[in-house]
């Protein structure tokens, strides 16, 4: 009977997703608006509904979906082996006491976990889900995995090519039932499941416990940029808003720390960015806090180190910065013109910065960088390109510096930038020796403190900040939310 019920729910959901619904009609008509005293107020202990946006025409299969909206909702349907907290620290979720020793990671599944059809979760299901995650991986996040095997019904074993003390952070991929990868809504073990009317209902047997949110209505939207309007008109209650879209402010918002690094990349093959003193001077010149507040509207975290500043293993103590003017003077740039700019060979000395002009925040950041450089006598010329022109320019090396952005994997792996073969290494200074130090630090043979010191001695790129996304909610929404980049419903059991 459970299987029949699930198939009915699936059919209903697919029918609703496949139809072009009226712009103002949710999947299931929500109750009429209520006063704050009888809706989601803190004083209410009765169950209540939540309305969430999903992307029209997309599926709820975590390995086939294409939208961020559906990815956020899918965290309610599918559990990971490991869940990351707000400091990106790994916590066993579907596994108990994960064991990482050298190149072997042994995971024992939590007892009593079942899928929506009542069948038990097995290590074979986890291994199957890993194959889907690895097949979808285009950034090489699983490139260090030698093998993944189910040792028995409840034990999964990963063998790595080299030891990596942050490997557990990668085990956040959703677990679905073996063989269901082609379905639009595969079977999961999550906190919610699809009901017969296409809404989400609580999984009463979930190990995390229940929530006051007993029913979730899925509201299809055709344009994610209209989320802001859907929130202020109470069509939906809670959603991560697309970055960079012009939308009205909702009643409230919650910042979510992402793992997307914005940085200054150097061209290590031309002067002056081939000079370590110049690169260290640039690092010391920057006012990261000003860039965060003025160029990114405070929706970012300043990055004094290469890794995310909220990362549980980040260096907490501030480092001592060199005197940028002394470094620039030592390079022979100690003469200035009437405007206060440094000169070289009797002419004003210019530094070329390449940016993607399609990003408003980066354009604003570049203007602020020009002011910060000018305060130390450096004339920064900003060259603006479309995204296609920008990527071609970076590949060709036509710049001193460029303003780059990369979404790092959950384990904070910097290989894309530090490895000489990395996808984003481009024309950075030679990092072969530094990269070996980095690998040793991840293996535990070298302290992260030593790596940081070596990084700043060479300074192949300068981290500026890590971006944040924003979750907005409607006017009658009062829970104290804890949200992470992987799960914006992280503490829904306590709402």
Q: Is the dihedral of CA 60, 184, 410, 298 positive or negative?
A: negative
Is residue 255 exposed (0-12), middle (13-18) or buried (19+ Cβ within 10 Å)? middle
Helix axes 448-458, 432-443, angle to 10 degrees: 160
Residue 247: per-residue pLDDT: 58
Q: What was the pLDDT predicted at 15? A: 37
Residue 249: what pLDDT? 61
Domains and CATH numbers, the chain: 1-77+190-251+474-495 (3.40.190), 79-179 (3.40.190.10), 257-469 (3.10.105.10)
Q: Which of 303, 313, 305 is nearest to 258 (CA)?
A: 303
Q: For residues 440 and 433, what is the distance between their CA atoms, to the nearest angstrom?
A: 11
Helix H segments across 117-214? 123-136
pLDDT at 2: 38
Q: What is the pLDDT of residue 9?
A: 40
d(CA 2, CA 13): 16
Give the Å distances, CA to CA, from 344 to 33, 348, 398.
68, 6, 20
Tokens of 442: 């991840």
Query: Residue 38 has what pLDDT?
Result: 33
pLDDT tens-digit profile, the chain (495 residues)? 333 343 344 344 433 343 333 333 332 333 333 333 334 444 445 578 899 999 999 999 999 999 999 999 999 999 999 999 999 999 999 999 899 999 999 999 999 999 999 999 999 999 999 999 999 998 889 999 999 999 999 999 999 999 999 999 999 999 999 999 999 999 999 999 999 999 999 998 999 988 999 999 999 998 877 888 888 888 999 999 877 655 556 668 889 999 999 999 999 999 999 999 999 999 999 999 999 999 999 999 999 999 999 999 998 788 999 999 999 999 999 999 999 999 999 899 999 999 999 999 999 999 999 999 999 999 999 999 999 999 999 999 989 999 999 999 999 999 999 999 999 999 999 999 999 999 999 999 999 999 999 999 999 999 999 999 999 998 878 788 999 999 999 999 999
Name the 3-class secondary structure at 71. Answer: helix
DSSP 83-102: EE-TT--EEESSEEEEEEET
Per-residue exposure over 88-121, b if at least 16 CB sit within 10 Å of its own CB, e if not: bebebbbbeebebeebebebbbbeebebbeeeeb
Q: For the chain, what is the largest distance between any 2 Cα atoms, rounded to a whole number of angstroms?
A: 86
Confidence at residue 215, expressed as pLDDT on a 0 to 100 scale: 93
Distances (CA, A) of 281 to 152, 224, 376, 401, 464: 56, 42, 10, 13, 14
Q: How many CB atoms lie within 10 A of CB 432?
A: 10
Are the C-beta atoms of 351 and 272 separated by less than 8 Å? Answer: yes
State the DSSP H helix or E strand holding residue 368, giving kind and residue range, or none if neither: helix 360-374
**How far apart are the C-alpha atoms of 456 and 303, rounded to whole Å?**
13
Angle subtended by helix axes 276-285 and 360-374, to nearest 10: 110
How far apart CA 241 and CA 320 sit, in angstroms, is 37
């Amino acid at each position: 009977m459970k299987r029949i019920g699930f198939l009915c729910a699936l059919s209903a959901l697919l029918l609703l997703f496949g139809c072009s619904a009226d712009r103002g009609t949710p999947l299931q008509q929500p109750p009429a608006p209520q006063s704050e005293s009888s809706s989601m107020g803190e004083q209410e202990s009765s169950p209540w509904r939540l309305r969430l946006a999903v992307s029209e025409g997309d599926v709820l299969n975590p390995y086939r979906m294409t939208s961020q909206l559906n990815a956020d909702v899918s965290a309610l349907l599918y559990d990971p082996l490991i869940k990351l907290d707000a400091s990106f620290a790994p916590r066993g979720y579907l596994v108990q006491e994960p064991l990482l020793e050298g190149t072997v990671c042994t995971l024992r599944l939590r007892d009593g976990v079942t899928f929506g059809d009542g069948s038990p979760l097995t290590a074979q299901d986890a291994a199957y889900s890993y194959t889907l995650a690895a097949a979808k991986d285009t950034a090489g996040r699983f490139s260090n995995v030698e093998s993944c095997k189910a040792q028995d019904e409840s034990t999964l074993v990963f063998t790595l090519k080299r030891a990596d003390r942050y490997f557990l952070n990668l085990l956040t991929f959703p677990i679905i039932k073996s063989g269901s990868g082609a379905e639009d809504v595969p079977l999961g073990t999550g906190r919610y499941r699809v009901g017969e009317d296409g809404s989400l209902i609580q999984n009463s047997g979930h190990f995390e416990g229940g929530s006051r949110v007993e029913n979730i209505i899925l509201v299809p939207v055709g344009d994610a940029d209209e989320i802001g309007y859907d929130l202020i008109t109470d069509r939906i209650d809670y959603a991560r808003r697309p970055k960079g879209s012009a939308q009205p402010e909702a009643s409230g918002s919650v910042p979510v720390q992402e793992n997307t690094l914005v940085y200054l990349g150097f061209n290590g093959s031309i002067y002056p960015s081939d000079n370590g003193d110049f690169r260290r001077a640039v690092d010391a010149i920057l006012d990261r806090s000003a860039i965060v507040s003025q160029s990114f509207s405070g929706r970012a975290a300043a990055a004094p180190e290469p890794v995310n500043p909220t990362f549980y293993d980040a260096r907490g103590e501030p480092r001592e910065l060199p005197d940028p003017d002394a470094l620039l003077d030592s390079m022979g740039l100690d003469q200035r013109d009437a405007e206060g700019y440094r000169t070289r060979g009797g002419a004003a000395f210019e530094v070329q910065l390449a940016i993607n002009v399609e990003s408003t925040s980066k354009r604003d950041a570049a203007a602020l960088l020009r002011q910060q450089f000018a305060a130390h006598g450096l004339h920064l010329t900003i060259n603006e390109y479309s995204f296609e022109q920008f990527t071609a320019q970076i590949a060709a090396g036509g710049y001193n510096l460029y303003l780059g952005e990369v979404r790092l994997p959950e384990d904070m792996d910097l290989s894309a930038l530090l490895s000489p073969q990395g996808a984003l290494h481009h024309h950075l200074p030679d990092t072969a020796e530094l990269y070996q130090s980095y690998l040793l630090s991840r293996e535990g043979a070298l302290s992260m403190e030593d790596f940081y010191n070596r990084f700043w001695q060479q300074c192949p790129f300068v981290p500026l900040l890590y971006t944040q996304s924003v979750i907005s909610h409607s006017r009658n929404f009062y829970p104290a939310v804890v949200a992470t980049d992987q799960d914006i419903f992280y503490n829904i059991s306590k709402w």
